[in-house]
Amino acid sequence: MSARLVLHGVCVGLLFAALAGAPTPAKAQKIYIETDLEGASGVYKFSQTREKDTPPNIEACEFLMGDIAAVVRGLRAGGAKEIIVSDGHGSQAFLPRLMEPGAKYVTGKPRPSSGLDETCDAIVMVGCHAMMGTPDGVLCHTQSSKSENRYWYNGVETGEIGQSAIVASYYGVPPILVTGDEATCRETKKFFGEHCVTVAVKRGLAREAAELYPFEETRKALFEGAKRAMAELPNCKPYQVKLPIQAKKEWYELDAKGVKGKLMTREGEILDLRDLYKF
Ligand SMILES: [Zn+2]
């Protein structure tokens, strides 16, 4: 072996050593968290989510804020530099007195924009529920729990976690963590694959019945899951659907008293992913 080759080998070795020892570049700077109320720890009745500002509703919002706090802490421990948390529940659920430091909290309606855009590196969904019709899905629904909406995109029935991820895919943003009941976690793996981390905070027995996991355990699992999700981020891909989307929607007509009437159907095309919720 010539001296030159030996020298070359040493140089390559040094280069590998330098690469292995170097800290991995911080890619995941900005995380967007979408939230919902139905999938929070301790929430299992519609009376907790539908009737704004009642004692059970305020308590449920406290439960959600506790879940969010655990996720914010976990994301930061995993390297997140900037975190935006969006209040995604219809009637809004944030309690500012319980905001965990290290994130910004966006709430109130209507808003000019959600804050989700191409500057975000990943989307996290906290407090989610399974799609309408899931037998073991706690408080399961898609958009409207009363009119029992259902949506199909290119023939695939899709719930709210899929809908959020489709909009995020417009900006090239992948889902990295979804939290909710066991049915939500199953739906997540089916739609987004194995790399997207899931954390279950309860197991559904029926739409308004559940086996609840204690807060101390769920908050620990949420922290660990969020930290793990940051490590999984490079392996996660945006959830993409083919455009134009062939869309179908089904829902029940409701009368003035909210009593279910005729089943309605609508079909059409969605040309822009940002218009998903307009259909
Ligand atoms: Zn929802």
Question: pLDDT digits over 88-129, tens only?
Answer: 999 999 999 999 999 999 999 999 988 999 999 999 999 999
129 C-alpha to center of ligand 1: Å?
6
The Cα angle at residue 239 between residues 237 and 276, in degrees rounded to 5: 150
Cα gap 77→130, rounded to integer Å: 28
Name the residue among 116, 202, 112 with its Cα closest to residue 164: 116
38 C-alpha to center of ligand 1: Å?
7
139 C-alpha to center of ligand 1: Å?
9
User: Which structure tokens are listed for 261?
Assistant: 């009437």
Helices 160-170 & 182-192 angle (0-180, nearest 10): 40
208 C-alpha to center of ligand 1: Å?
15
182 C-alpha to center of ligand 1: Å?
16
34 C-alpha to center of ligand 1: Å?
10
166 C-alpha to center of ligand 1: Å?
15
* DSSP string computed for 45-86: -HHHHSSTTSHHHHHHHHHHHHHHHHHHHHHHHTT--EEEEE
Q: Which residues pair with 210 in a beta bridge?
A: 204
211 C-alpha to center of ligand 1: Å?
20
Q: 232-255, pLDDT tens digit by residue?
A: 999 999 999 999 999 999 999 999
At residue 258, the pLDDT reads 86
223 C-alpha to center of ligand 1: Å?
22
Cα gap 169→34, rounded to integer Å: 14
Average pLDDT, the chain: 92
126 C-alpha to center of ligand 1: Å?
11
Q: 21-61, pLDDT tens digit by residue?
A: 444 545 559 999 999 999 999 999 999 999 999 999 999 99
The Cα angle at residue 95 between residues 94 and 97, in degrees rounded to 5: 145
35 C-alpha to center of ligand 1: Å?
9
194 C-alpha to center of ligand 1: Å?
23
Q: Cβ contacts of residue 207 below 8 Å, gap of 6+?
A: 137, 138, 139, 140
Cα gap 164→229, rounded to integer Å: 17
Q: Which helix (H) or strand (E) holds 231?
A: helix 215-232
For 252, counting Cβ atoms within 10 Å of its Cβ (0-12 exposed, 13-18 middle, 19+ buried), the class is middle
Cα gap 48→121, rounded to integer Å: 33
Domains of the chain: 30-144+158-240 (3.40.50.10780)
Q: Cβ contacts of residue 268 below 8 Å, gap of 6+?
A: 247, 279
193 C-alpha to center of ligand 1: Å?
21
The answer on pLDDT for 5 being more than 70 is no
Which range is least confidently modeled, 28-32, 106-110, 192-196, 270-274? Answer: 28-32
DSSP reduced 3-state for 95: coil
DSSP reduced 3-state for 8: helix
At residue 4, the pLDDT reads 47
Cα gap 251→151, rounded to integer Å: 9
